Amino acid sequence: MISYELGVEDLADTRFAISPLSETVFSLRILREPGLHAAHLPWRREVLAKLGAAEAELLVSLVGEKLALPDFLTPRPATFAPAFDEELSLVRQAAPQLVRRDLPAALVSGPIPADDEAAAAFRDAACELLRRYWKLAVEPVWPQMRRVLEADMTYRARRLALGGARLLFADMHPNLRWQDGVLYISKMIGHHHVAAAGQGLLLMPSVFAHKPAPPVSAEEPPSLVYPSRAVATLWTPPPAPDATALTALLGAPRARLLHLLAEPLPTVELARRLRVTPSAVSQHLRVLYGTGLVTRARDGRQVLYRRTELGDRLSGPP
């Protein structure tokens, strides 16, 4: 059991953050134990197909025997959404003594670096390994992951506003319990009580965390990685656009225009194909351009219009 004693000032200083490095490190649990979350199995298969066997084995070796992770690999974000390389630079600066403290605390198997020089070498090698892994496994899907995480934070912030800390933690996970100003986190490998004493609490939703995960060390400031909502939707492909719905949204003339603009076309040609006047087409194009659904560029004496990426997604296949 790990517990955080949070005073009024700590609750006032409770904040959220998104950490691409923490997500990268927590995803290593899924590589090691695929049964933790069935929703991630397609992602896991794709990643393992790209990783070499030796590299996958090294990555998995960073996860402890009971799936704990060394604290030095997941530094506390200083801003709401730091860049991956920004966070990784903090890991590169981690003192060798922290590396030697955190590896056995997380029950990481294998030999522990015997001295500071060996610990620094281990830290630097882990950073290079994680950077390659981020580029291959997490960065390509980070935009959709971030949308899920931000949606969860919006939900949690509303719970906090409506019912305070009790409502905030009520449905976060069965392992969490809020009582008399103390947040209890059960089923942990560590057993300690931390008085926040003005340090506040940092909350980080995670698509890869299967249960709440505070730092292993009692010396770290209070923070909590917790399972995000709506993870099951992360790898679900978006539904195919419905042409009927697009017509209801834009109206038939503008929907037809959007379908035609898969290729660059001038106003006159659009009017010819639709059998309407150029002025009528111009009026509709102004609306589509103003809403970001089409772009325009001059080609000699003509202005060519074409769908934007947003217009492509709305219109779907022709």
Q: What pLDDT does residue 301 have?
A: 81
Structure tokens at 204: 């980080």
The whole-number pLDDT of residue 242 equals 65
Q: Is 60 exceeded by the pLDDT of residue 232? A: yes
Compute the average pLDDT of residues 186-211.
93
How does residue 68 score in pLDDT terms, banded at 50, 70 and 90? very high
**What letter would DSSP give residue 264?**
-
pLDDT at 218 over 60: yes
Mean pLDDT for 7-33 is: 95
- Residue 311's pLDDT is 87
Mean pLDDT (whole number) for 63-72: 94
Q: Which domains does the chain have, with CATH numbers?
A: 2-233 (no CATH), 243-315 (1.10.10.10)
Mean residue pLDDT of the chain comes to 91
Buried b (16+ CB within 10 A) or exposed e, 187-217: ebeeeeebebeebbbbbbbbbbbbbbbbbbb
Confidence (pLDDT) at 27: 97
Tokens of 115: 């001295």
Q: What is the pLDDT of residues 104-124, one digit of tens each?
A: 999 998 888 999 999 999 999
> By C-alpha distance, which of 26, 36, 84, 89 is closest to 59?
26
Per residue in 242-276, pLDDT (tens digit) is 667 778 888 889 989 998 998 899 999 999 889 89
* Predicted confidence (pLDDT) per residue in 163-174, tens digit: 999 999 999 999
| Model pLDDT, residue 247 | 80
Model pLDDT, residue 37: 87
Gap between the Cα atoms of 4 and 134, Å rounded: 31
DSSP for 138-162 reads: IGGGHHHHHHHHHHHHHHHHHHHHH
0.85 cut: is pTM over it?
no
DSSP 239: P
* Residue 182 pLDDT: 95
Q: What is the DSSP letter of 177?
A: E
Q: Contact at 8 Å (CB) between 73 and 84?
A: no
- Would you state the pLDDT for residue 79? 93
pLDDT at 317: 58
Has residue 48 got a pLDDT over 60? yes
As a whole number, mean pLDDT of residues 43-64 equals 94
Which of 50-54, 112-116, 213-217, 235-239 has the weakest average pLDDT?
A: 235-239
Q: DSSP class of residue 112? A: P
Using CA atoms, how far residue 305 sits from 30, 229, 255, 262, in Å, is 46, 40, 14, 9
Please count the other Cβ atoms lying within 10 Å of the Cβ belonging to residue 88.
22
At residue 203, the 3 state secondary structure works out as: strand
CA distances from 151 to 16, 114, 237 (A): 12, 44, 18
CA–CA distance, 187 with 192 (Å, rounded to integer): 12
Q: How confident is the model at residue 221 (pLDDT cuts 50, 70, 90)?
A: very high
Mean pLDDT of 150-170: 91
Our CA dihedral for 88, 104, 99, 226, rounded to 10 degrees, sits at 30
Per-residue confidence (pLDDT) for residue 238, from 0 to 100: 60
The least confident of 22-26, 98-102, 195-199 is 195-199
Confidence of residue 241 (pLDDT cuts 50, 70, 90): low
Mean pLDDT calculated for residue range 296-302: 83
